[in-house]
Structure 1
Amino acid sequence: MSRTMKAWQYISVAGGIEKNLHINKSAPKPVPTENEILVQVHVMALNPVDYKVTESGVPLRLLGLTFIPGLDFCGQVAEVGKKVDGFSKGEYVFGAKVGSTGKGTLAQYVAVSKDQAVRLPKGVRPEDAATIGIVGLTSFAAVSPHVKSGDKVFINGGSGGTGVYGVQIAKALGCHVTTSCSTPNVELCKSLGADEVIDYKSTDIINALSSKGPLFNLAVDNVGSPSTLYKASSAFIAPGGKFNQVGMASNLSGLAQLGGNMLRPGCLGGGKAKYQMVMGQNSPSSLQTLGEWMREGKVKSVIDSVFAWEDAPKAYEKLKTGRTKGKIIIKVPQDNA
């Protein structure tokens, strides 16, 4: 087996990673540790975190020298570490390299820990499973532990990557779901099972929610806009309800908003519901549940676009517009099989 592979890499973020990505046709193939598996990637999906960490102003030399972006993947097991059980060479798996920076999935092979991948259920396409990854894990953590059947949930931003899964997870758990999106995405959100959709282009979200009274058991904010949503949440979150923050602007304004939400008490004008920032964590059981729900038809992927391997920079350009419906995926060539 060859010791090299093709991989998209970058060593600078000047002008954005999409301006610096290049294909290395002889990148070193990862060597899995005894607690890892080596996956031959067939499909990978993009996430904003792929570029936000390295474009955040942190000097690249503190993180590494050469970066391969990407966290989400679906592919076949190529090697199994000595201390790894439950995986066989050749079988399909999917998952996400949660918390990883630099040695990503926009490559022909990726080494992942045994808790970052699960088997692909029969009947589920690799293209669909590749979209679960980070957004599926994050949405599952933001919704599943905090609700029971019959609860009312508000998902702010129902047409993006985390929103698409958040709406469907809440419905799969038996909740009544209200979500928000722009006019072109209203029908998409309805098709995901949302019981009510607020079009923020024509309706003030806070007014629409407040007019219902304090009846929501959980609010999940995937976008951080309007910035006063948490502050106003006491008007629409039921006593004992929670407000989970998933997404927010990655700038000083966003940091100030997050700090205010976490530190300003309700008696001084802050929100009164329990507030927390939710991030995806390694969870094989959550991945397995989402994979089974996809097999059963309870959850479906929403793929905005499929890019060829050679067009990876264009895929990141589109991701950065913030106008995608669901996920962007890239098919990875298998000529090094």
Structure 2
Amino acid sequence: MATMKGWLFQASSGPFVKNLSIPTAGIPVPPIKDTEILVRNLSTTLNPIDYKLAELGFISKLIFRSPITPGLDICGTVVQVGSKVTNYKINDKVYGSLGPVAKHGSLAQFVPIAENAVALAPEGLKSDDVVATGCVAATSYAALKPYVKPGDKVFINGGSGGTGVMAIQIAKNLGADVTTSCSSANVELCKSLGADTVLDYKKGDIVAQLKDQGAVFDHVVDNIGVPANLYHASSAFLQPQGKFIQVGLGMNFAGTRQAVGNKLASLWAWGKREWIFVAPPSELHTTYVQLAEWMQQGKLRAVVDSTFEFEELPRAYERLKTGRAKGKVVVHIQE
């Protein structure tokens, strides 16, 4: 059986990175299904859900059949196609993303992925830049595309993180006027991505700053779940017919309580300021085709915080877990 280099996570107690290893004998190259392609992966990025799910203790053992290879985003060349695959051929360069509980994740040299979860990578762009859009751009697209129309005013809470930098650009591409929040150090970054107004949370309470704007926003996208009372205070800045789309939230008891409380408050509001937890795009392929088109046109660009080599993965996760990454943390898999 052919083997490859890959990281394995073994569900256990303790921090996520302490349970990661690269087996010296390699790991088997996974087989593909009829509707899948096998990708020789060049680069990937890290996402908080990688370690948040894995650090749920007993719950993580129910979710994962360990050992697994973590990682969601892929960018590489097709080396094998399933018998029912029609859109791709050997040597096509593709990008896309896996689900959060995939057994064969992107932190390996070869990755099986469904045909409908990828698109052709835009030509002329570096793999690092292409992969740094990936699932964060797809998530932001799902949070915005169904609701935003040209001329809408959108507030994006958390504009400098992985989803935030994508959300600003996608909202602008959809014709919205964008207000976002970030720290003082990231104000210029958010402006460079197209934000019309940037609120600095270091200079004052975000809820208070939004209330000063008045009920002007058509939609709110919350990437971080902080402050926890943002939805409950939204009647002061979100129009009655507006949507509050939750993207990021703590994966703990406090986060669960916040989500349940927001949903109940939304139901009691009888359709006003509906609270919605973002759902994954129903058709990833179509989403990635659109994102690739914007990248090719220069309307969507990656923001790479830092890059690490394959063996430096623990350090890469340490950087991600600081919560201070501007954009994405990228890991090189191979040349």
- 1:237 counterpart = 2:273: no
Q: Any residues of structure 2 matched to 1:216-295 within 5 Å, and which?
A: 216-264=217-265, 272-281=272-281, 282-295=283-296
- 1:205 counterpart = 2:206: yes
CA distance, structure 2, for counterparts of residue 207 and residue 62 of structure 1 = 40
CA distance, structure 1, for counterparts of residue 276 and residue 63 of structure 2 = 29
Alignment root-mean-square deviation, CA: 1.7
Query: Is contact 1:307-1:329 (8 Å) kept?
Result: yes
Q: 1:62 to 1:69 in 2, by over 3 A?
A: closer
Q: 1:248 to 1:61 in 2, by over 3 A?
A: closer
**What is the match of residue 75 of structure 2?**
74
Higher helix proportion: 2
- After TM superposition, give the deviation of residue 62 of structure 1 in Å: 5.4
Query: Is contact 2:152-2:217 (8 Å) kept?
Result: yes
- After TM superposition, give the deviation of residue 12 of structure 1 in Å: 3.4
Q: Any residues of structure 2 matched to 1:26-45 within 5 Å, and which?
A: 26-45=26-45
Q: 1:32 to 1:5 in 2, by over 3 A?
A: same
What secondary structure is seen at the aligned counterpart in 1 of 2:54?
Answer: coil
Q: Any residues of structure 2 matched to 1:17-28 within 5 Å, and which?
A: 17-24=16-23, 25-28=25-28
CA distance, structure 1, for counterparts of residue 48 and residue 271 of structure 2 = 27
CA distance, structure 2, for counterparts of residue 63 and residue 248 of structure 1 = 21
Aligned partner letter, 1:18: V
Q: Any residues of structure 2 matched to 1:318-337 within 5 Å, and which?
A: 318-334=319-335
Aligned partner letter, 2:102: T
CA distance, structure 1, for counterparts of residue 290 and residue 334 of structure 2 = 29
**What is the match of residue 7 of structure 1?**
6
- After TM superposition, give the deviation of residue 136 of structure 1 in Å: 0.9
CA distance, structure 1, for counterparts of residue 206 and residue 212 of structure 2 = 10
- After TM superposition, give the deviation of residue 15 of structure 1 in Å: 2.5
What secondary structure is seen at the aligned counterpart in 2 of 1:300?
Answer: coil
CA distance, structure 2, for counterparts of residue 205 and residue 196 of structure 1 = 13
Aligned partner letter, 2:245: N
Q: How many residue pairs were aligned? A: 332
| Percent pairwise identity | 45
CA distance, structure 1, for counterparts of residue 60 and residue 143 of structure 2 = 31
CA distance, structure 2, for counterparts of residue 129 and residue 262 of structure 1 = 35
**What is the match of residue 194 of structure 1?**
195
CA distance, structure 1, for counterparts of residue 248 and residue 268 of structure 2 = 25
CA distance, structure 1, for counterparts of residue 143 and residue 43 of structure 2 = 26
Query: Is contact 1:231-1:271 (8 Å) kept?
Result: no
**What is the match of residue 306 of structure 1?**
307
- After TM superposition, give the deviation of residue 304 of structure 1 in Å: 0.4
- After TM superposition, give the deviation of residue 264 of structure 1 in Å: 2.6
Aligned partner letter, 2:161: G
Aligned partner letter, 2:90: K
What secondary structure is seen at the aligned counterpart in 2 of 1:146?
Answer: coil
- After TM superposition, give the deviation of residue 60 of structure 1 in Å: 2.2
Aligned partner letter, 1:92: K
Long gaps (5+) in structure 1: none
Q: Scaled by the length of structure 1, what TM-score is found? A: 0.94
- Render the CA deviation track for 1:142-188: whole Å, top value 9, x for unaligned: 01111111110000000001111000000111110000001111111
Query: Is contact 2:242-2:272 (8 Å) kept?
Result: no
